[in-house]
Amino acid sequence: MTKMMNLKFKILILNAQSIVNESKQIILQHLIESTDPDIISINETFLNQNKPLNIPNYAIFRSDRQHRKGDEAALCTKNTLSGSMIDILSLLTHENALALS
């Protein structure tokens, strides 16, 4: 018989409507410090490969649009968790998706 582990995670889910400007990044940092989530999901980041996202103590996995703005996403996991990207784009018709294992 397999013993089930009772794992609990705190997850912060945000529809950012852009975290490009400094004031939104300050708000994001305050939310993270206040809630101490294990996993952060950020939709509509409006980031691209030239705009960094740095969150101390978190591994950041991003899905940035290449040719237009909108639908960018980021999944961030505490460095104490292990995770890796799963390639699911070939399974979807939508060009922007992100999954972790």
User: What's the chain's Rg over C-alpha atoms?
Assistant: 15
- pLDDT for position 29: 94
Task: Return mean pLDDT, the chain.
Answer: 82
CA angle 25, 53, 63 (to 5 degrees): 120
33 pLDDT higher than 90: yes
For the stretch 82-95, pLDDT in tens is: 877 776 666 655 55
Measured between alpha carbons, how far is 73 from 57 in angstroms, rounded to an integer?
19
Q: Residue 50 gets which letter from DSSP?
A: T
The whole-number average pLDDT for the span 12-22 is: 89
Q: What is the pLDDT of residues 46-81, one digit of tens each?
A: 888 888 899 999 999 888 776 666 678 888 999 998
Instruction: Report the alpha-carbon distance of residue 38 to residue 97 in Å, rounded.
Output: 20
Cα atoms in the Cβ-side hemisphere of radius 13 Å centred on 30: 6
